[in-house]
Copies of this chain bind each other. A is one copy, B any other.
Amino acid sequence: MSKPYVLGIDIGGTNTVFGIVDARGQVVASDSIKTRKHSNFDDYIAELHHEVTRMLRLNDAEDKIQGIGIGAPNANYYTGEIQNAPNLPWGNGILPIAEKVSKAFGGIPVAVTNDANAAALGEMTYGAARGMKDFIMITLGTGVGSGIVVNGQLVYGHDGFAGELGHVVMKRNNGRMCGCGRTGCLEAYCSATGVARTAREFLEIRTDPSLLRNIDIDAITSKDVYDAAIAGDKLAKEIFEYTGKILGEALADMVAFSSPQAIILFGGLAKSGELLMRPLRETFEASLFPIFKGKTKIILSELKESDAAVLGASALGWEAKFRYEVPSVSFATQTPTVSVPASGAATPKDEA
């Protein structure tokens, strides 16, 4: 057989990005469509299939795709479905995306998971977590997502939705409202929007001067806070201190759970450099249960941001090949192959 490829598809609220990826993690080609163009899910699938097929033809890759991995909000690895994703335009029900995409592509195996889990797989397959069997991926974007790897396996939990570490509670009294309907979640403090909220709070409560006072308070973004901090603004620096401290406390509790070799940060906020990383590392080390001190690294993703979503989804494509290879098994009724320890099923690495 000629050189094998997988297809990675990342479905975001605005764009759907897809790419052809080889076994070494090179993105051979990529393209995108608008996620919201079709309010009918089948029309969306048809356009996706059409555009992907065009890309495959252009790259002489039509017969080389071994598997398709899809990262999408609320996507469930076990069922192959997107379940109640409010940021997608196809209603608040269940979308059997793995089955639809596989059918559109003539039966190529498809596996799905949420974007943070895909990021963790991407990091494990091609990035900073190569060779690690225990690590946690934290995505610091508009929200805070997570993908947890234990014993070399992604943690899906009994229902496929494990790893919602953006929603551990960091403030149990007078915590901020979170988009999830609860209060005090990590995401309400340590996401890009959380940083902007902290800026608004600080500016309202305090009276000291700040470059941020030159900006419409309702329009302040985490980027504005970053720019002000880099320009030496004291209040802006304190916002990063505050953010890093809460994140450090949260990560220390995560270590008590799975004692990972590393926690890998990804996303816009993770690129704030020492403004965030210094208070984060200091609080993290100080907050660890004694037996864990000095053992867990906090590092940054090694994947290029422009490629990361496609790479992460594509990593799942290799896995799809092994999950769904048996043609008689239907997606809807497939039980997960993750099972009792060492049950003998093949993994991508075994055969790659």
Query: Which positions in A face B, CB cutoff 8 Å?
Result: 74, 84, 132-134, 148, 150-153, 155-165, 167-172, 180-182, 249, 252-254, 256-261, 287, 289-292, 295-296, 337-347, 349-350
Q: CB distance A289 to B257 under 8 Å?
A: no
A350 to B259, CA, bound (A): 28
Question: Which residue of B is nearest A296, CB measured?
Answer: B158
Q: Out of B171, B254, B289, B347, which one reaches A341, CB within 8 Å? A: B347
A17 to chain B, nearest CB (A): 25
Q: Out of B171, B258, B292, B340, which one reaches A347, CB within 8 Å? A: B340
A344 to B343, CA, bound (A): 6
Q: CB distance A133 to B151 under 8 Å?
A: no
Number of copies: 2
Q: Out of B151, B181, B287, which one reaches A151, CB within 8 Å? A: B151
Question: Which residue of B is nearest A346, CB measured?
Answer: B342
Interface of A is mostly: loop
A119 to chain B, nearest CB (A): 17
Q: CB distance B257 to A162 under 8 Å?
A: yes
Which of chain B's residues have a CB closer than 8 A to the CB of A340?
133, 151-153, 347, 349-350
A183 to chain B, nearest CB (A): 10
Which of chain B's residues have a CB closer than 8 A to the CB of A258?
148, 155, 157, 162-163, 257
What 9 new A-B contacts, CB under 8 Å, besides A134-B162, A164-B289? A151-B155, A152-B340, A158-B261, A163-B256, A169-B249, A180-B289, A339-B342, A342-B343, A342-B346
A134 to B338, CA, bound (A): 11
Known A164-B291, A289-B164; contact A151-B148, beta-carbon cutoff 8 A: no
Q: CB distance B253 to A169 under 8 Å?
A: yes
Q: CB distance A165 to B290 under 8 Å?
A: no
Q: Which 9 A-B pairs have the closest CB atoms?
A: A157-B259, A162-B259, A152-B340, A158-B261, A342-B345, A134-B158, A164-B256, A167-B289, A153-B341
Which of chain B's residues have a CB closer than 8 A to the CB of A151?
150-151, 153, 155-156, 338-341
